[in-house]
């Protein structure tokens, strides 16, 4: 549970989409945000924002850059693991190297940052860790098996941390959010996947903007006892989704997913 509102925040993936909305929200409220991107020129220029160049696929970049940012900040009160990207393609044709990179970006990098941030938080007996997962970890997306599995892994890791740590640990689980995420997805082409790809374009276009995820982050940082998981998205995904995941038999759930993706 946070003793006080975090003032110094390390946020990954702050250049666009959800991360940018979180950075804007926190900086406007006077928090100091150290926000990362692979390319520092893509980061916003905001009061209280400190640009950080970090490639989450490179372990040495994570360690070296974290150390420099920590020295500049004097230590972080909150860590938000938000950065992410997806690979789309049939399991038999997506190269194993791309699968490994999914797990490096979405699971290993957040774990490494948590381990780096923990000593200060444990010493101060306060701190907030927020992991941005995905509804895809609960309702898997066809042709995004590695992405769905990596998000499920981060979700499980987050639940474990809640049991281990005397800190505030929250999972933010977005459904479809209208950002450039789909455009940034690396696609391994196969004609029989076109239909699912098209469904994703349509659902993303109709989805709410990233500000609703920034609202959830705000709640996780300010609520003295936030829920373990905050599901964010349109009404169906944020409210009916978690209910369906708990109540529907697996075969029926699969049928619903097949219908949704027109499989
Ligand atoms: N949009 C959705 O529908 C949705 C739904 C559920 C979950 N999510 C999750 O929400 C998070 C943010 O997604 P978004 O929608 O905001 O996507 P986005 O607009 O594409 O932003 C992705 C961010 O991640 C960073 N990033 C990507 N690869 C990186 C790497 N190798 N090293 C360092 N940074 C990297 C990007 O930074 P640079 O490219 O500038 O380096 C960018 O800031 C992701 O974890 C995503 O999985 C999104």
Token readout for 148 is: 């769905």
Whole-angstrom Cα distance, residue 115 to residue 135?
A: 25
Residues 135-184: tens digit of each pLDDT: 999 999 999 999 999 999 999 999 999 999 999 999 999 999 999 999 99
Active-site annotation, residues:
147
Whole-angstrom Cα distance, residue 198 to residue 260?
A: 11
- Rounded to the nearest angstrom, the distance between the alpha carbon of 247 and the centre of ligand 1 is 31
Structural domain spans, the chain: 8-260
Taking domain 8-260, whether its CATH number is 3.40.50.720 is answered by yes
Whole-angstrom Cα distance, residue 263 to residue 259?
A: 6
Whole-angstrom Cα distance, residue 111 to residue 157?
A: 8
Residue 38 alpha carbon, nearest atom of ligand 1? 41
Q: Is residue 83 lining ligand 1, measured as CB closer than 6 Å?
A: yes
Q: Is residue 241 lining ligand 1, measured as CB closer than 6 Å?
A: no
- Rounded to the nearest angstrom, the distance between the alpha carbon of 15 and the centre of ligand 1 is 9
What's the predicted TM-score (pTM) here?
Answer: 0.97
**20, 57, 84: residue to mutate for ligand 1 pocket, most atoms within 8 A of CB:** 84
Asked whether 207 and 175 are in contact (CB, 8 A), the reply is: yes
Q: Is residue 179 lining ligand 1, measured as CB closer than 6 Å?
A: yes
* 3-class state of residue 26 by DSSP: helix
Residues 52-79: tens digit of each pLDDT: 999 999 999 999 999 999 999 999 999 9
């Amino acid at each position: 549970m946070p003793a006080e509102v975090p003032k110094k925040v390390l946020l990954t993936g702050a250049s666009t989409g959800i991360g940018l909305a979180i950075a804007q929200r926190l900086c406007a409220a006077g928090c100091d945000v150290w926000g990362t991107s692979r390319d520092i020129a893509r980061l916003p220029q905001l009061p209280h924002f400190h640009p950080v160049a970090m490639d989450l696929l490179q372990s040495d970049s994570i360690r070296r850059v974290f150390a420099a940012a920590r020295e500049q900040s004097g230590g972080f009160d909150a860590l938000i693991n938000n950065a992410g990207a997806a690979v789309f393609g049939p399991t038999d044709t997506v190269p194993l190297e791309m699968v490994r990179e999914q797990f490096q970006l979405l699971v290993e990098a957040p774990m490494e940052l948590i381990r780096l941030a923990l000593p200060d938080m444990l010493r101060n007996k306060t701190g907030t860790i927020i992991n941005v997962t995905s509804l895809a970890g609960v309702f898997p997306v066809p042709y995004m098996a590695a992405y769905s599995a990596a998000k499920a892994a981060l979700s499980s890791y987050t639940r474990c941390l809640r049991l281990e740590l005397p800190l505030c640990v929250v999972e933010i689980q977005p459904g479809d959010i209208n950002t450039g995420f789909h455009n940034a997805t690396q696609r391994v082409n196969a004609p029989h996947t076109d239909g699912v790809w098209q469904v994703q374009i349509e659902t993303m276009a109709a989805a709410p903007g990233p500000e609703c995820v920034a609202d959830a982050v705000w709640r996780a940082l300010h609520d003295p006892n936030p829920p373990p998981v905050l599901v964010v998205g349109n009404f169906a995904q944020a409210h009916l989704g978690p209910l369906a995941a708990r109540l529907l038999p697996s075969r029926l759930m699969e049928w619903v997913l097949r219908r949704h993706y027109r499989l």
